[in-house]
């Protein structure tokens, strides 16, 4: 049975690939993006099954209006995919206030507001699925991506809480955690002006790796997006899907390190309880 999807950030990258795959298999897609012309080829090919809507997810009023209109136009929207976002690179003190605000407004607040806008409609129709495109960067951190990681760690916590709040309504949420992939993420990356003080730090090493090609991109975006679609079709819904060997190894190492630290502090933790 065909499904109807609502997807943000569809002009390129994961959002574009997911839209292409879903239309090819016979589904209907409400595709939002900031540059509507980016999907003209698909709109011509799939007239009647593709709604293209201009949306800047940093505009919370527009997010609510667009979601409301999409649910009003379609008998049911089965899956909402929160995909819009971008990366920001720079050491914490290299970033400007404006860069930090835009990163948070887009990746974190924009995602939160999309989910909040969708929930009443999903409740009213008796359930549905939300897929939040997070990142391995929601569990693991690279130097120079602190603001980006703050948004991805933040949205993971938000989704964990919301999933518990709405489970009784038949609404399920999945976090997709892709590792580095051969998309245009790097081309869209916002980069802060470097400070000389960081020229010999890990920030500079990561910066160099991104410019000289030594930062290897093993992930296949076509396989990643197919895994996201498969996860949205799966029952019961997985809470997380880890995409790519880099993501697996990085997340595994980060979780193991945190677990080891926790175990080493067990006595300290228990010592903080009120005495019986």
Q: Which two tokens stand for residue 130?
A: 């939300």
Q: Give per-residue pLDDT as tens, 82-117.
A: 999 999 999 999 999 999 999 999 999 999 999 999
Which three-class secondary structure state does DSSP give residue 190? Answer: strand
Closest to 232 measured CA to CA, from 78, 108, 97 = 78
- What's 4-248's CATH class? alpha beta
Output DSSP code: residue 39.
G
Q: Indicate the pTM of the whole model.
A: 0.94
Which three-class secondary structure state does DSSP give residue 238? Answer: coil
Residue 36: the pLDDT is 81
Q: Give per-residue pLDDT as tens, 189-242.
A: 899 999 999 999 999 999 988 887 776 778 899 999 999 999 999 999 999 999
Q: At what angle do helices 60-73 and 110-124 cross, to 10 degrees?
A: 30
| Number of alpha carbons in the 13 Å side-chain half-sphere of residue 152 | 25
> Chain-wide mean pLDDT for the chain?
95
Residue 257: the pLDDT is 98
- What would you report as the CA-atom Rg of the chain, rounded to the nearest whole angstrom? 20
Residue that wins the pLDDT comparison between 212 and 175: 175
- The answer to whether the CB of 104 falls within 8 A of the CB of 150 is yes
Residue with tokens 């076509």: 222
> CA 174 to CA 76: how far, in whole Å?
19
Phi, psi of 203 (to 5 degrees): -60, -45
Name the active-site residue from 86, 142, 148, 270.
148
Residue 1: the pLDDT is 83
Closest to 122 measured CA to CA, from 53, 172, 191, 54 = 172
> CA 218 to CA 215: how far, in whole Å?
10
Q: Give per-residue pLDDT as tens, 36-85.
A: 899 999 999 999 999 999 999 999 999 999 999 999 999 999 999 999 99
pLDDT over threshold 80, residue 131: yes
Annotated catalytic, 142?
no
Among 30-44, 107-121, 147-161, 252-266, the minimum mean pLDDT is found in 30-44
- The answer to whether the CB of 18 falls within 8 A of the CB of 79 is no
């Amino acid at each position: 049975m065909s499904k109807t999807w609502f997807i943000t950030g569809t002009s390129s990258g994961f959002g574009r690939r997911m839209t292409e795959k879903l239309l090819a298999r016979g589904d209907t897609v409400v595709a939002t993006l900031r540059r509507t012309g980016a999907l003209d080829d698909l709109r011509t090919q799939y007239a009647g099954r593709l709604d293209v809507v201009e949306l800047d997810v940093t505009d919370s009023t527009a997010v609510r209006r667009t979601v409301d209109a999409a649910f009003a136009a379609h008998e049911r929207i089965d899956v909402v995919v929160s995909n819009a976002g971008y990366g920001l690179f720079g050491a914490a003190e290299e970033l400007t206030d404006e860069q930090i605000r835009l990163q948070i407004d887009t990746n974190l607040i924009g995602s939160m507001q999309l989910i909040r806008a969708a929930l009443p409609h999903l409740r009213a129709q008796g359930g549905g699925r939300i897929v939040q495109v997070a990142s391995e960067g929601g569990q693991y951190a690279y130097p120079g991506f602190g603001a980006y990681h703050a948004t991805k760690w933040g949205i993971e916590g938000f989704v964990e809480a919301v999933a518990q709040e709405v489970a009784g309504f038949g609404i399920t949420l999945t976090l997709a955690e892709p590792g580095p992939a051969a998309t245009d993420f790097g081309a869209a990356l916002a980069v802060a002006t470097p400070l000389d003080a960081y020229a010999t730090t890990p920030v500079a090493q990561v910066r160099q790796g991104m410019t000289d090609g030594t930062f290897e991109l093993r992930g296949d975006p076509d396989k990643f997006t197919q895994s996201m679609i498969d996860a949205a079709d799966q029952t019961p819904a997985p809470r997380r899907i880890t995409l790519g060997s880099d993501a697996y190894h990085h997340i595994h190492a980060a979780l193991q390190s945190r677990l080891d630290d926790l175990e080493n502090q067990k006595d300290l933790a228990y010592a903080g309880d009120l005495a019986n």
